[in-house]
Each structure stands twice: as structure tokens, then as C-alpha cells.
């Protein structure tokens, strides 16, 4: 245990010897790191894939029959698949480790009677932390001294507004600082009470466990692998018995049966999957999304619920002044972040002279009563940053938008003294010298601490108007500050007397505004059939206001429409999948919400950046962390790290995931149809007098050419134009579901018919029918692969037509190279003999295009609204934006007809 009872100790802190003893007793102050996965374990995890297991069995079988070349080819597929998967995992972890370097590794403590800097891991209970502006708190600690201490706890709680801490605070939490939080202003001494796993950060990290559940793609392919294994064994036995009944030698039929079994399994599927996932990961990296686990690429395409954090994910993560109220007017303030460029508008127009004077007076006072500073971008196009309290920095940016220069104001009104903000007074006052020798008093603070007769010399009517405006702005989710000023002929003594008899200047309403693309991103999710859910630790009013602004709630939404963490704790909310907005949630409750959706069969994605998001990121099917703003705990818990912290990148990743899944299904349609055709040819051929339609070597050569180069090239096909206009497939749907297996049989039947037709024509005309059958079967499958392309003449994937040409060239080599002719037992074909294979290739192409033309309108109609698709969310047009109204019920929807092929 690393926890001790809180007790006061002298500022001298422990001696070095005591610290060493405590370190040995309590252990290092660090959250247990994820254990390093050895290389052999990574390789074993890749080899446990069911289809890889089938391929390994095929290697054993081919070696048993002496077919070493084919065994080498199949083994090479296994090696490539395993290597790519392992390399991708290692590279992703190295990239995350580079992000981890952003963490603060050291802390200032009192040791041996004086301050000393030590590694954060060496901080022990009873250490005295020396905290100042910008410091990351190294451990949980109780304050013993404090002055104007303001702490950002958003990483732990999700609260966007910094929290005041003081030794005199009535709430015990106000006298405590916690591990992982950041000091924005002030200074303090604090005695460490908990380190390592017993700190607030450690307790949250302990909620995270390695995710044992396979991804949707892994589950689907595992089901397919089991089905194909059974089919392969059954066909192997059936063909072997059938051959024996026809009087064929047992040895020849054994080889043929095993060859057919190999043909029944699309052995390049793992390579296709791996290539598709690797390309998807590379595309995502170019779009600022770092994939930590390769299967996560496809998982994004299956997401049905997007649970998103608020601060830094939907919002900018920076406080901004958006409204100003004075007794004479109400103004809006535009602009982004701490950038001082922007305008003040009254009813959409620049303020008049009297209004401008009131607004400038308000912003002058808030700029003078201010300890923050703004820093310009360090590089062209970069953001302005704040030094100090984000709220005060936002007030400086607003003053700059009114044409006020804080530096010039400070020179014109030099500060004489101040009364710093504290949690009891809830206000800050500064006193400045004026040019005439008098003094100017500037005050800002919480409305309830300022809008009183004890502070302001105003009529009750003015005070009531200001209180009503403050209440209205607070209900809209703003943080409201009131400002006042007064003049004195001399310096007031004592300084506290300055906080009386002041004139009200107005109110400033601040918020952490939504990112400019937030509403559009959520609307894109809705169009894709993904249910957005907001889960935050912030105040319910703030959460409600943001949800309205981004379209998650209607404009007339009440606070009751937002479910609070207390409601979850009391058990009053029985169905956690119905609400759209959750506020004041703790890490455990985020876990409960994500798990509730998973229990209903949803594929969940969770976005976040704080330590408090880590457990939910781990529990979700796909965890998405912010790379810039995100904490180390969040990044380590996530499957996907957004290096640009943009939620729009998630939508791009979803599109990439759907591309991957479409290509996998397209390959399955092609590969299984070809495999079915080869089997049907072998089973039906004898019925038409073709005793042994194909030799074992010919079957394996066809399989190599069709499932090899062309199959792998299919994994690079570009995204379908309608990929984001259809809902995701249900998690329980089989990889061959939504009519794909029927299409496999139909295409397989067409390829079988045209191939046998070519062979029967050749036999009746005295031509080398077996070689023509061999060529026609291969040509028909190459025609199918071209016909299945989403965009026939696209240049996005030149590898596929190149692979088809290469396969055609290798097919010709099997007919005309003496060495291959002897191995495969083929005969050279004349120009007249090639008529049948060419027609078979055209027939395969036409059949594939016809299937697309028939299947496409059904899901396209749903996507365009001609046929109700019952999406999880239904966009509702309203003034000022689009509301993402949830459909009553589960929020899940039936799949559209397949687009793959």
C-alpha cells in the first residue's frame, strides 16, 4: 500500500535517508506500466488466427503429398501475414512511446531542509511538494500552504473549468491536489498522502485491464475459418470417394482431393486482410490517425455507437469569452481560442459609440484585474497560447478584440496592490495608479460575490437586471464573471476597503466552445448510422449547452434531459443506452455506459484524452485517444491515437475501416466463387464424360494465380462512394451474411457453366479440352475480379489490373513454357483454341457487373431515403443547425444490402 494518513509535517520534509526508506517501503511513484510483450508472444497471437491455422494444415498436407512448391507458397503467405501484423504493432507502440516523452518526469520536493528536484517516480509519502505555475502534481497531497492556487483537473475529472484550491477551503477536496493535475496559477506546499497505484491516477489506471474480446473482424473470420475447415474436409472426402468409385487410382485421387481442399480455402485471405489493414493504417497515419492495433482499422468501420468526451474532443479545450453584458447592451464576441483577432457585435452589427464605451470599460477592468499573458504562435499558422489561468487569458483575448492592448493598459495604470482570488471571497481586486495621482480599483469575480450592495453602489433595479442576466447565461452553460470598478483620490487603507462602493461594468460569459467541425462531424456519424453519445465529467448545464450547440439535443432541451452521474449511482436510470448526454460521470460510470451498449450488441468507439477516460477507452471495442492533448494513460489505453486531436479524423478512420471490410468481402465473393467453381467442375465434369477434369497441379496453379497476386491486389481497392451513406453492419452478422453467400454460389455456378461449356465445345471439336478447361476457368475468374471493381476505370489502385495482366501472363506460361507444361500436364493452344477461354473471361466479367447492377440499387435506395433504413439517429432540421435525435429503442439498425462487389 502507498497510502498514509494525512498529517502535517514541517516544510523541511524528510531527509534523504528517510525518503530512501519510504521508497523501499511504498515502492516507486508510478502507475504499473503495461508489460512488454515478447516477440514470440506477438507471433503466437498472429498464428492463432483460425484461417492461419487452416493454412498451416494445408502446408502439412501439401508436404505430405510431396507438393513442396505449393507448400512454400502457402507458407510464404503465412510468414508475410505474421510479419506485417507484428511490425505494425511494434511501430505503433514506438510512436506512442515518442508521444510519452511529452510527460513531465520530475518534481520539486523539500528534502534535507531545502528544495530539491527529483524524478517523479522517487516521490514518496510524507514528501513536501513545492508547486508553482505550470507544475504537474506528482502525487496526491494535502495542502499545508497555498496562495492563489488554481489547478486544472480536467485530465482526471473532465471538468473544463479550473478549480481553486486553498488550505482554508471548507470542502476537503478543495484542500487536496491530485496526481496528474496541472497548476495553472499560484503556489503551494503540499504533503504527499498517496503515490503510485494508490493515487487518484493509479486508481483509475487500475480499472483498465487488457481487452480479452476479439474484434468484430476477428470474430467473423474465426467463424468463416471454422466453416471453411469443415467444408474443406467434407469435399476432400467426397471427391476422394467419388474418384475411387470411378476407378481412379487411390494415390492420384488423394492428391486431387487435397488440392481441392486447398482450393476451397482462400489461402490468400490472411494476406488480403493484412494488406488491407496495413494500407488502411498507412492511410489513417497520413490523415493524422495512428493505429496501435492493426485489427482496429476494420473495427472502426463496424462502429455503431460513438461515445465521446467533451473537453478537448468536441470542444477546443480553451476558454473563450462569447458574450458580454452591460447595463446598456448585450454583445457577442467571435474568434477562436486565444487568438486576439475577432469582433464585438451587438445584434449582428458593430456597437454604437455608447455601447462601445461600455464594452471597452468592462474589458479594460478585466484586462487590468488579470495575471495571465498571451503568447503569439511560435510558427506561422500556429495557435496563440496562454500563460496562467485560461479564464483570465480569455478575458485578455476579448480585450484585444475590442482594440485594447494589455501591455499599454498596464503601463497606463500600473498596479499598486491586489487582493488575490480565493475560494471564500470568490473575487479578485487590483488597485492601479492613474495619471492624475488617484487610484483605480478593478474587481472581477463570481456574480454572487460581486452583485451585492456590500460591493456595488447601484440601484436594486440594476442589480436585479444583472442577476437575471447572470442566471440566464449560466443556464446556457456559460461560466459567468461580473466586473466592477471605482476611483479613489488616494490609496485606500486597508486594501480591503477598495471592495466597496464600486460601479457595475457588466458580465463576461465564457465557455469552452465546440470545435468548428464538431457539428458536421456528428452529422456525418448520423448519416453513417452511428449513434453519438456525450459522456463528460463536466457540469450538467455546460454539457447540455454544448449538446444543443452541436445538435445532440434540441434547443429547448432542459437540464433534466442530461443524465447525471448521481442518477446512475442511485439506480434511477435503468437503461443506460437511452440517454444521449451524461454529465458529472466518474471513470467507473463511463465503464458502465460503454459496457451497457456492448451488452446490447453495439460496437462501441470511445474518444477521450484524460486519465478519467482511460478505463472506458480500454473497455470499448475501439478506443480513440487524443495525441497532443491526451494523457499518457489515455494513449496507452487506446487502439487509435489522433495526432491532430480532431474528431473529424475519426470519421475518416470509420470510412477507411469500411473500405477495408468492403474489400475483404469483395475478395471473399471472388475467392470463394472461384473455389466453388473449381469444386463444381471436379464434381460435375465426370457427369458430362470428363473423367478427371483437372490435374492436381492445374488446380493449385489456378488457385495460386487467382488467389495470389489478384487477390492481394483487391485489398488496395479505393473506398466505395456510398460507404458513409449506409449504416454499419450488425456485429452478429456473419462475414458471408447480407446475401453474400448466395452471390458466391451464383457466380461460382456461372464460372462453372462457362468453363465446362468451353471444355465440352473443345472435346466435341477435337481440341485439347483439359488445357482449354484449365485456361477458361482461370480466365473466367480473372474476368470476375475486374467486374467486381467499384469503379471500373479508376486509377486509385493500378495494382489490380497489373496483377490481372501478370496472372494472364503466368497462365500463358503454363501453356507455352516446356518446363511448366511438363509439370502441369498442359498442351499449347492455338488462336482458335483461345476463343473458348476468352468468351469465358467475358462471361465472368459480365456476370460480376450484372450482379453489382442488381444489388446496388437496393442499398442505394435506402441510403438516399427512398426506402426507410431505420437509422440509429434521425437528423432533424431546425433553425440554427441539425439535431441528432435518437430513434426510440435500441439505436441499432438492420444492415443494408452489401456493397462489396
Active-site residue set: 309
d(CA 271, CA 213): 23
> Would strands 873-878 and 640-642 be described as parallel, antiparallel, or unpaired?
unpaired
Q: Exposed, middle or buried, 33 (CB in 10 Å: 0-12/13-18/19+)?
A: exposed
Interacting residues of 729 by C-beta distance below 8 A, sequence separation 6+: 302, 661, 737, 738, 895
* 3-class SS of residue 387: strand
Give me the phi and psi of 491, to 5 degrees please.
-70, 125
Q: 752 with 684: CB under 8 angstroms?
A: yes
d(CA 666, CA 718): 12
Q: 647 with 663: CB under 8 angstroms?
A: no
* Grid cell of 252 as nine digits: 492420384
Q: 22 with 241: CB under 8 angstroms?
A: no
Interacting residues of 769 by C-beta distance below 8 A, sequence separation 6+: 690, 759, 760, 762, 763
Residue of 770, 612, 779 lying closest to 697 (CA atoms): 770
* Grid cell of 601 as nine digits: 450488441
d(CA 652, CA 656): 6
Q: Position of cell 488440392?
A: 259
Half-sphere exposure of residue 891: CA atoms within 13 angstroms, side-chain side: 26
DSSP 522-535: HHHHHHTT-EEEEE
d(CA 657, CA 774): 37
* 3-class SS of residue 605: strand
d(CA 205, CA 634): 9
Instruction: Output DSSP code: residue 16.
Output: H
Q: Position of cell 501453356?
A: 815
Angle at 378 (CA atoms; ends 374, 380), nearest 5 degrees: 115
**Residue environment code for 741-779, b if the CB has 16+ CB neighbours within 10 A, otherwise e:** bebbebbbebbbbbbbbbbbbbbeeebbbbbbbbbbbbb
d(CA 536, CA 702): 56
In sign, the C-alpha dihedral spanning 443, 445, 450, 455 is negative
The Cβ of residue 516 has, within 10 Å, a number of other Cβ atoms equal to 11
d(CA 406, CA 611): 35
DSSP 102-127: TS--EEEEEETTEEEEEEGGG--TT-
Task: Work out the end-to-end distance of the chain between its first and last CA atoms, rounded to an integer number of angstroms.
Answer: 59
Instruction: Output DSSP code: residue 268.
Output: T
* 3-class SS of residue 832: coil
Residues making up the chain, counted from first to last: 901
Interacting residues of 840 by C-beta distance below 8 A, sequence separation 6+: 751, 754, 755, 757, 758, 776, 777, 779, 780, 783
Q: 592 with 574: CB under 8 angstroms?
A: no
Give me the phi and psi of 99, to 5 degrees please.
-65, -35
d(CA 765, CA 797): 41
Q: At what angle do helices 216-245 and 50-64 cross, to 10 degrees?
A: 30
Amino acid at each position: 500500500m502507498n497510502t498514509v494518513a494525512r498529517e502535517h509535517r514541517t516544510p523541511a520534509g524528510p531527509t534523504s535517508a528517510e525518503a530512501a526508506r519510504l521508497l523501499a517501503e511504498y515502492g516507486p511513484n508510478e502507475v504499473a506500466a503495461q508489460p512488454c510483450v515478447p516477440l514470440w508472444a506477438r507471433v503466437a497471437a498472429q498464428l492463432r488466427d483460425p484461417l492461419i491455422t487452416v493454412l498451416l494444415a494445408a502446408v502439412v498436407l501439401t508436404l505430405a503429398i510431396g507438393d513442396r512448391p505449393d507448400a512454400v507458397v502457402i507458407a510464404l503467405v503465412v510468414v508475410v501475414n505474421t510479419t506485417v501484423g507484428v511490425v505494425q504493432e511494434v511501430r505503433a507502440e514506438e510512436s506512442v512511446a515518442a508521444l510519452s516523452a511529452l510527460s513531465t518526469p520530475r518534481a520539486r520536493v523539500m528534502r534535507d531542509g531545502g528544495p530539491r528536484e527529483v524524478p517523479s517516480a522517487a516521490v514518496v509519502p510524507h514528501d513536501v511538494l513545492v508547486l508553482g505555475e505550470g507544475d504537474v502534481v506528482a502525487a496526491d497531497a494535502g495542502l499545508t500552504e497555498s496562495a492563489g492556487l488554481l489547478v486544472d483537473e480536467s485530465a482526471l475529472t473532465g471538468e473544463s473549468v479550473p478549480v481553486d484550491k486553498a488550505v482554508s477551503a471548507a470542502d476537503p477536496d478543495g484542500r487536496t491536489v491530485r496526481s496528474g493535475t496541472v497548476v495553472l496559477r499560484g503556489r503551494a506546499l503540499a504533503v504527499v498522502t498517496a503515490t503510485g497505484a494508490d493515487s487518484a491516477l493509479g486508481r483509475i489506471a487500475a480499472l483498465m485491464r487488457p481487452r480479452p474480446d476479439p474484434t468484430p473482424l476477428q470474430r467473423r473470420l474465426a467463424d468463416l475459418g471454422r466453416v471453411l475447415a469443415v467444408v474443406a474436409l467434407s469435399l476432400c472426402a467426397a471427391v476422394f470417394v467419388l474418384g475411387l468409385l470411378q476407378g481412379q487410382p487411390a494415390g492420384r485421387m488423394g492428391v486431387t482431393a487435397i488440392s481441392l481442399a486447398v482450393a476451397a480455402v482462400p489461402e490468400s485471405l490472411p494476406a488480403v486482410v493484412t494488406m488491407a489493414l496495413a494500407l488502411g493504417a498507412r492511410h489513417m497515419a497520413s490523415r493524422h490517425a495512428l493505429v496501435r492495433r492493426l485489427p482496429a482499422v476494420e473495427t472502426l468501420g463496424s462502429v455503431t455507437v460513438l461515445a465521446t468526451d467533451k473537453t478537448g474532443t468536441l470542444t477546443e479545450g480553451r476558454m473563450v469569452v462569447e458574450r458580454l453584458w452591460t447595463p446598456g447592451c448585450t454583445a457577442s464576441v467571435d474568434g477562436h481560442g486565444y487568438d486576439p483577432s475577432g469582433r464585438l457585435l451587438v445584434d449582428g452589427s458593430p456597437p454604437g459609440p455608447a455601447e462601445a464605451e461600455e464594452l471597452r470599460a468592462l474589458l479594460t477592468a478585466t484586462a487590468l484585474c488579470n495575471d495571465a499573458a498571451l503568447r503569439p504562435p511560435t510558427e506561422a499558422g500556429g495557435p496563440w497560447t496562454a500563460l496562467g489561468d485560461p479564464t483570465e487569458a480569455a478575458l485578455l483575448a476579448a480585450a484585444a478584440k475590442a482594440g485594447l492592448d494589455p501591455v499599454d493598459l498596464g503601463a497606463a495604470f500600473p498596479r499598486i496592490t491586489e487582493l488575490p482570488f480565493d475560494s471564500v471571497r470568490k473575487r479578485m481586486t487590483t488597485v492601479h495608479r492613474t495619471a492624475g495621482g488617484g487610484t483605480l480599483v478593478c474587481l472581477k469575480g463570481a456574480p454572487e460575490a460581486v452583485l451585492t450592495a456590500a460591493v456595488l453602489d447601484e440601484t436594486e433595479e440594476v442589480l436585479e437586471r444583472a442577476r437575471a442576466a447572470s442566471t440566464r447565461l449560466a443556464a446556457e452553460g456559460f461560466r459567468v464573471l461580473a466586473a466592477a470598478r471605482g476611483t479613489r483620490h488616494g490609496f485606500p487603507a486597508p486594501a480591503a476597503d477598495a471592495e466597496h462602493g464600486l460601479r457595475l461594468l457588466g458580465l463576461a460569459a465564457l465557455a469552452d466552445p465546440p470545435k468548428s467541425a464538431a457539428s458536421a462531424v456528428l452529422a456525418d456519424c448520423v448519416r453513417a448510422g452511428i449513434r453519438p453519445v456525450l459522456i463528460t465529467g463536466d457540469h450538467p448545464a455546460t454539457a447540455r449547452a454544448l449538446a444543443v450547440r452541436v445538435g445532440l439535443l434540441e434547443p429547448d432541451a432542459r437540464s433534466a434531459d442530461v443524465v447525471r452521474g448521481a442518477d446512475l449511482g442511485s439506480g434511477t436510470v435503468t437503461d443506460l443506452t437511452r440517454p444521449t448526454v451524461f454529465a458529472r460521470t466518474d471513470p467507473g460510470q463511463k465503464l458502465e455506459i460503454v459496457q451497457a451498449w456492448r451488452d446490447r450488441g453495439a460496437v462501441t468507439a470511445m474518444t477521450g484524452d484524460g486519465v478519467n477516460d482511460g478505463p472506458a477507452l480500454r473497455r470499448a471495442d475501439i478506443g480513440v485517444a487524443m495525441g497532443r492533448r491526451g494523457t499518457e494513460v489515455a494513449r496507452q489505453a487506446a487502439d487509435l491515437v489522433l495526432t491532430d486531436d480532431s474528431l473529424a479524423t475519426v470519421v475518416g478512420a470509420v470510412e477507411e475501416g469500411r473500405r477495408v471490410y468492403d474489400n475483404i468481402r469483395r475478395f471473399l465473393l471472388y475467392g470463394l466463387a472461384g473455389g466453388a467453381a473449381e469444386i463444381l467442375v471436379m464434381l460435375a465434369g465426370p457427369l458430362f464424360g470428363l473423367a478427371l477434369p483437372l490435374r492436381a497441379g492445374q488446380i493449385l496453379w489456378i488457385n495460386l494465380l487467382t488467389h495470389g497476386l489478384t487477390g492481394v491486389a483487391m485489398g488496395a481497392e479505393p473506398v466505395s462512394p456510398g460507404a458513409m451513406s449506409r449504416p454499419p453492419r450488425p456485429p452478429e452478422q456473419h462475414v458471408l451474411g447480407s446475401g453474400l453467400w448466395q452471390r458466391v454460389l451464383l457466380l461460382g455456378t456461372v464460372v462453372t457453366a462457362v468453363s465446362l461449356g468451353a471444355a465440352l465445345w473443345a472435346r466435341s471439336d477435337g481440341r485439347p479440352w483439359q488445357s482449354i478447361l484449365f485456361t477458361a476457368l482461370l480466365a473466367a475468374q480473372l474476368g470476375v475480379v475486374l467486374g467486381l471493381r467499384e469503379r471500373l476505370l479508376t486509377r486509385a489502385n493500378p495494382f489490380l489490373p497489373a496483377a490481372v495482366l501478370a496472372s494472364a501472363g503466368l497462365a500463358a506460361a503454363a501453356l507455352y513454357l516446356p518446363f511448366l507444361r511438363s509439370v502441369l500436364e498442359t498442351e499449347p493452344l492455338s488462336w482458335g483454341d483461345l476463343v473458348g477461354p476468352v468468351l469465358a473471361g467475358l462471361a465472368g466479367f459480365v456476370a460480376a457487373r450484372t450482379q453489382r447492377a442488381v444489388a446496388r440499387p437496393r442499398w442505394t435506395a435506402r441510403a438516399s431515403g427512398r426506402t426507410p433504413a431505420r437509422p440509429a439517429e434521425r437528423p432533424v432540421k431546425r433553425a440554427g443547425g441539425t439535431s441528432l435525435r435518437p430513434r426510440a429503442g435500441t439505436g441499432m439498425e438492420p444492415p443494408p444490402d452489401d456493397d462489396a462487389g
